[in-house]
Amino acid sequence: MNTQRDGNVWWKEFPLHAPTEEHRLLAHTVESFVRDEVEPQAQSYNRDERFNRELFRRAGELGLLGLTVPSEDGGAGLDATAAVIVHEALSWSDPGFCLAYLAHAVLFVHNFATNANEQQKRRVLPQVLSGQWIGGMCMTEPEAGTDVLGMRTTAELQGDHYVLNGRKMFITNGAIDDNTLGDVFLVYAKTGGKISTFLVEKGMPGFTLGQRLHDKLGMRSSMTAELVFDHCLVPAGNLIGEEGASLQHMMRNLEIERVALAAMSLGIAMRCLETMVQYANTRHAFGVPLREHGQIQRYIGDSYAEFRAARSYVYDVARRLDLRSLGNRADADGAKLFAARVGKNIADRAIQVLGGYGYMGEYVVERLWRDAKLIEIGGGTLEAHQKNITKDLCRAPEWIRR
């Protein structure tokens, strides 16, 4: 076997976190965007629980909203690794904004571009790729979260319209402020007992904002809402894919969603670790820098090892993830299960190392600690991941040795 190329063992040089030139350039662009435009607004938008619509449009201008959309459809045609790069970088600064980005770019745009027909794509994609329209995805209901298949929203074909009845809960981008609905949604509903997907647009009769939810623990620069469908009239042409055939869309999109959410935990962990190290280097207690104290070394050492492990796992899963196929659930769930806890633990230790200052907003880590918790719930709870992984492994134990 020839492992030598240009005198180097090339696979040892393989850059897992930016495998191609495009990934490297993308990382550079997003890091600059974060430094110059995301970071300066993060603290105030989170404090005030407001969504930054201007910043969102800027993300559209840079092409970030169509990251994984094929180039034929006007996107960048990039992959799961690119999605991880973007979510990690944005969450280093503003996980709340990143969650709104995820709900739009991954839950709506990516899902829609994968499953919609040409006519639907021509009408909607330009609006959502530019950020003119803000999109979201409606799966969770007031009485059905983890138990997705227990959803109660129904859709019934009457003439040339479907009539939707039900309520959806915790919908990111469901509102953009207290009174304004988001623009477009992929709504899962049951047709004859099976799951179908509908494109529901602001202004359709019977579609209203139930309530914008206030006082979230974290992720406060993203808006979360309850949406109401009361005899909501959706044109038959807004059915996405075949009637009753959406289980697959849903499961497939959950894989990239979970990997992207895991990447958000990486960004949080990275920022918290950097903050901790910098503080331990400069703050003195008992006549020495904090870094000299064994207990501080334990916080930093454990955090670093966990961060590196999570980062390798998430990027490795992203590298393998084929966005068109299904069947990576054990690892999409595994990556999020692991990274979510790493993010939360490292944020917690960062506060601890910073002492009283860590508890204060100015040092950012308290906000990241609040944001980090969401990854243990949204897009699947820890317990849901444990359940899925167990199910998949018991069905195919050979996966363990892969």
Ligand X SMILES: Cc1cc2nc3c(=O)[nH]c(=O)nc-3n(C[C@H](O)[C@H](O)[C@H](O)COP(=O)(O)OP(=O)(O)OC[C@H]3O[C@@H](n4cnc5c(N)ncnc54)[C@H](O)[C@@H]3O)c2cc1C
| Residue 210, phi then psi, degrees to nearest 5 | -65, -60
For residue 25, the minimal CB distance to another protein (Å) is: 5
Q: Does 47 bind another protein (CB under 8 A)?
A: no
Shortest separation between residue 23's beta carbon and another protein, angstroms: 9
Rounded distance between C-alpha atoms, residue 86 and residue 102, angstroms: 10
Phi-psi domain of 84 (left: phi exceeds 0; alpha: psi -120 through 50; beta: other): alpha
**Rounded to the nearest whole angstrom, what is the least distance from the CB of residue 271 to another protein in the complex?**
15
CB under 8 A, 24+ apart: contacts of 47-50: 47/220, 47/361, 49/214, 49/216, 49/220, 49/221, 50/177, 50/221
Per-residue mark of binding to another protein, 299-338 (x: CB under 8 A): ----------------------------------------
Name the minimum Å distance from CB 8 to another protein: 12
At a CB cut-off of 8 Å and minimum separation 6, what does 96 contact? 42, 45, 46, 218, 219, 220, 221, 222, 371
The half-sphere exposure of 380 on its side-chain side, counting CA atoms within 13 A, is 30
| Contact call for residue 378 and ligand X (CB under 6 A) | yes
**Burial (0-12, 13-18, 19+ Cβ within 10 Å), 54:** exposed
356 contact choice in ligand X, another protein, none (CB below 5 to 8 Å, kind-dependent): ligand X
Residue matched to tokens 């949604």: 185
Among 201, 226, 255, 257, the one annotated catalytic: 257
- Residue 318 is a binding residue for ligand X (CB under 6 A): no
Residue 120 is a binding residue for another protein (CB under 8 A)? no
Length of the chain: 402
170 binds, among another protein, ligand X, none (CB under 5 to 8 A by kind): ligand X
Q: How many residues bind ligand X (CB under 6 A)?
A: 38
User: Max CA-CA distance within the chain?
Assistant: 80
Out of 38, 55, 67, 109, point to the residue binding another protein (CB under 8 A).
Answer: 67
Query: Is 257 a catalytic site residue?
Result: yes
Task: Based on the shown chain and the rule CB under 8 A, indicate whether residue 21 belongs to the binding site for another protein.
Answer: yes
Closest CA to 173 of 238, 98, 120, 82: 98
Q: Per DSSP, which regions of 177-290 are E strands? A: 184-191, 194-201, 207-213, 224-235, 239-240, 284-285, 288-289
Nearest approach in angstroms of CB 67 to another protein is 7
Among 290, 364, 365, 368, which residue interacts with ligand X (rule: CB under 6 A)? Answer: 290
Q: Given candidates 1, 286, 324, 398, which one binds ligand X under the rule CB under 6 A?
A: 286
Nearer to another protein, 5 or 214 (CB): 5
Please report whether residue 29 would count as binding ligand X according to CB under 6 A.
no
Q: Under the criterion CB under 8 A, does residue 25 sit at the interface with another protein?
A: yes
Radius of gyration of the chain (CA): 22
Please report whether residue 28 would count as binding another protein according to CB under 8 A: yes
How far is Cα 239 from Cα 198, in angstroms, rounded to an integer? 5
- How far apart CA 336 and CA 317 sit, in angstroms, is 10
Residue 166 binds to ligand X (criterion: CB under 6 A): no
Q: Is 130 in the site for another protein (CB under 8 A)?
A: no
| Catalytic sites, residue numbers | 257
Residues that bind ligand X (CB under 6 A): 103, 107, 136-140, 145-147, 170-172, 216, 219, 224, 283, 285-286, 290, 293, 295-296, 352-353, 355-357, 359, 374, 377-381, 383-384, 387
Return residues touching another protein (CB under 8 A). 21-22, 24-26, 28-29, 32-33, 61-64, 66-67, 71, 76-78
